[in-house]
Amino acid sequence: MGWEDDRNPSTIDHRPWTFGLQPSFLCQPLTDNCQPQIANPMPVITLTTDFGLKDGFVGTMKGVIWSICPLAQIADISHLITPQNVLEGAFALWRACPFFPAGTVHVAVVDPGVGTRRRPLAARLGAHTFVGPDNGLFTPVYEEAEKNGWPLEIVHLTNEKYFLAQVSRTFHGRDIFAPVAAHLANGLRLGDLGPALTDPLRLLMPKPEQTPTGWRAHVTVVDVFGNLSTDLPAAMLAGHAQPIFHLGGREVRGLVASYGQAQPGELVALVDSEDFIEIAIVNGSAARVIGAQVGDVVEIVTTSHNSL
């Protein structure tokens, strides 16, 4: 089945942070030091971790936050990031945070280097703040800010006044990141937490590449259904009615408009809810059947190059 996008690709904003919406990062006025003016008396704090749900780690972090900022509204982005998979955590946070209001504080803890010399940090992009380890988890935040010329301020968390009294070597989510986030939600200035950090660690983020026959994309999200979202904006395939997708030795021809347009068990390609290309199995798990994971390559052959 063919698919066409009648929008002019040159006029489409492909920034994942906006998804065609008014970006909340710049919705609030800023003071000279990028401190957002938070009008909401019930600030929002998000949590993204690889802690899972079996143990009490997430609940403990929430308890710390509420002890310092009782009016905080805490939203769970995900606690099922594959353990120690920093890239997966970076993508999960990156794609979720544009939908949160200005003034939100995002805590992310996928931290295999906890207790080592890796630095704790906080970063403010416009009117959103990010708190977590300096291990590349916020790489998409830095890149998006730089690409769009948005204000970005990063500090090294060194002021122990805003940590818990006892800091362990194994649970900085509880002892450093949760209390810091709560203090920020209460209105603490970013600069009070420590000195400026100018050399944050960055991941080498996969990006779609144009090839002689089409595109080379990458799996960025494996959701709970086993659907495989990629980093290729759907607009890049506008005008190509029958692209062919290759992943894990499997081939998919063309795009469907929804899962319901194919039969159960059929491998399909479609546009996901955030306007990226997705590979899925109807009523099944493409991740399990193909054995795919975050970072895997998806080769796309466009109609103009397809002689099959």
Q: Which of 193, 226, 255 is the last residue of a domain?
A: 193
| CATH code (residue 46) | 3.40.50.10790
pTM of the model: 0.82
Q: Tell me: pLDDT of 5 over 70.
A: no
End-to-end CA distance of the chain: 16
The residues facing 129 across adjacent strands are 105, 124
Q: What average pLDDT score do residues 21-36 get?
A: 40
Q: Which of 193, 226, 259 is the last residue of a domain?
A: 193
Residues 171 and 230 in one domain: no
Residues 33 and 176 in one domain: yes
Residues 49 and 178 in one domain: yes
Neighbour-count burial for 54-63, b at 16+ CB within 10 Å, e otherwise: eeebbebbbe
Q: Tell me: pLDDT of 28 over 80.
A: no
pLDDT at residue number 241: 76
Helices (DSSP H) in the chain: which residue ranges? 57-68, 86-96, 139-148, 172, 178-185, 286-290
Residues 89 and 216 in one domain: no
Residues 64 and 147 in one domain: yes
Is there a domain that residue 5 lies in?
A: no
| Structural domains in the chain (count) | 2
Helices (DSSP H) in 149-297: which residue ranges? 172, 178-185, 286-290
Q: Which of 159, 193, 227 is the last residue of a domain?
A: 193
pLDDT at residue number 306: 53
Return contacts of 279-285, CB within 8 angstroms, 24+ apart: 279/219, 279/227, 279/228, 279/230, 279/245, 279/247, 279/252, 280/225, 280/226, 280/227, 280/228, 281/226, 283/259, 284/226, 285/225, 285/226
pLDDT tens digit sequence for 132-169: 999 999 999 999 899 889 889 999 999 999 999 999 99
Give Cα 69 to chain centroid, integer Å. Answer: 25
Q: What average pLDDT score do residues 225-251 get?
A: 93
- The SS3 assignment for 10 reads helix
Q: Tell me: pLDDT of 26 over 70.
A: no
pLDDT at residue number 303: 63
Output the six-digit token pair for 167.
């800091």
Residues 117 and 234 in one domain: no
Q: What average pLDDT score do residues 264-277 get?
A: 94
Is there a domain that residue 7 lies in?
A: no
Q: What is the DSSP string of 186-205?
A: TT--GGGG--B---------
